[in-house]
Amino acid sequence: MEKPYNFKEVMEKPERLAPGHRMCAGCGGTIAVRAVLRALHEEDKAVIGNATGCLEVSSYMYPYTAYKDSYIHNAFENAGATLSGVETAYHVLKKRGKLDETYKFITFGGDGGTYDIGLQSLSGAMERGHDMVYVCYDNGAYMNTGTQRSSATPQFADTTTTPAGKVSNGKVQIRKDLAAIMAEHHIPYVAQTTYTSNFKDIHTKAEKAIYTPGAAFLNVMSPCPRGWGYETSELMNICKMAVESCYWPLFEVVDGKWHLTYEPKKKLPVEDFLRPQKRFKHLFKAGNEDLLEAFQAEVDKRWEELCAKCEM
């Protein structure tokens, strides 16, 4: 039985990510980090891994980091391998009596370093069953290097490598469903989340991920004001529209069983999520109605498939 969620208690926990980092105003990445690290019990220590990306370059400048816990910066492609090696070494040292403290292992990577270039090391870490949590802060493109498309980028999005214009409607392909791929690794815990009004969803899922023995994966939609083109004050509204339109449904997979953790009372049209973002402004031009219809059809299809998995 889950313990009751106490918002005040959670928010009063000491910060494990120090202020003063250089992430952009209105960025979802650091909100993801703060929310996940708050799920750690105060008596536990942690080792934080961080693949190269926006989060790394903005929260770390040797020899300083914004993290209160032990921190490892690794290359773009090997966050999963790095933390799985550290986790293995930890258990060896515990067995030899050289460590008494309890450590948890959490690594963060953007979608470029997770969906694409880091997928191999992530898959290996999950398949081997290391007792660690991989958190993807999914901002839907390679934001650190100039907003190039990734396999997490939604269809029709305008990026620097899939520019929308006279000869192109943006990215051609639909977005990869990484959470479903991770669930097929048959690991104990997989969840998809973002920032809801009281942060309960991300906090409770982060705690489950950290304290469920074995490998766990969290996919956190983390909007990027620079790459998505929204006003910084719109961050929470963007997240709300993503959830309420079922573009980004909230669910978890526990020991292979799928569960919806939130179902909108009235499913909103996906254009409510797309309209505030400049990367989709071409979809609202006269003559592009079929593109909006195609986007909505894909969202509806995925929602129906998810509901079927959750046996609704």
Contacts of 159 (CB under 8 A, 6+ apart): 141, 147, 148, 149, 153, 170, 171, 227, 279
Sign of the four-CA dihedral 172, 244, 292, 183: positive
Which structure tokens are listed for 287? 């003559």
pLDDT attached to residue 110 = 96
Helical (H) or strand (E) element with 203 = helix 200-211
Is residue 136 within 8 Å of residue 80, measured between CB atoms? no
Q: Which amino acid is at 207?
A: E
Cα separations (Å) of 271 from 19, 28, 224, 267? Answer: 35, 21, 18, 12
pTM, rounded to two decimals: 0.96
d(CA 157, CA 13): 38
d(CA 303, CA 248): 9
pLDDT attached to residue 183 = 98
pLDDT attached to residue 312 = 56
Q: Which amino acid is at 265?
A: K
Backbone phi, psi, residue 105, to 5°: -125, 120
Q: For 294-310, what is the HEC assignment?
A: HHHHHHHHHHHHHHHHC
Is residue 84 within 8 Å of residue 128, measured between CB atoms? yes
What's the angle, vertex CA 297, arms to CA 294 and CA 299, rounded to 5? 115
pLDDT attached to residue 304 = 97
Helical (H) or strand (E) element with 260 = strand 257-260
Backbone phi, psi, residue 109, to 5°: -150, 145
* Tally of CB atoms within 10 A around 289: 11
Quick: pLDDT tens for 235-257: 999 999 999 999 999 999 999 99
Cα separations (Å) of 156 from 232, 273, 283? Answer: 22, 14, 8
DSSP string covering 48-103: EEEESSHHHHHHEETTEESBSSEEEEE-TT-HHHHHHHHHHHHHHHHHTTS--S-E
Write the DSSP symbol of residue 156: T
pLDDT attached to residue 2 = 64
Whether the upstream peptide bond of residue 276 has omega within 30° of 0, thus cis, is no
Residue with the two structure tokens 């409770």: 204
d(CA 213, CA 69): 21
pLDDT attached to residue 13 = 87
pLDDT attached to residue 311 = 75
Domains and CATH numbers, the chain: 7-309 (3.40.50.970)
Q: What count of residues does the chain have?
A: 312
In terms of Cα–Cα distance, which of 159, 174, 137, 136 is closest to 229?
A: 159
* Ranges in the chain, pLDDT < 70: 1-3, 312
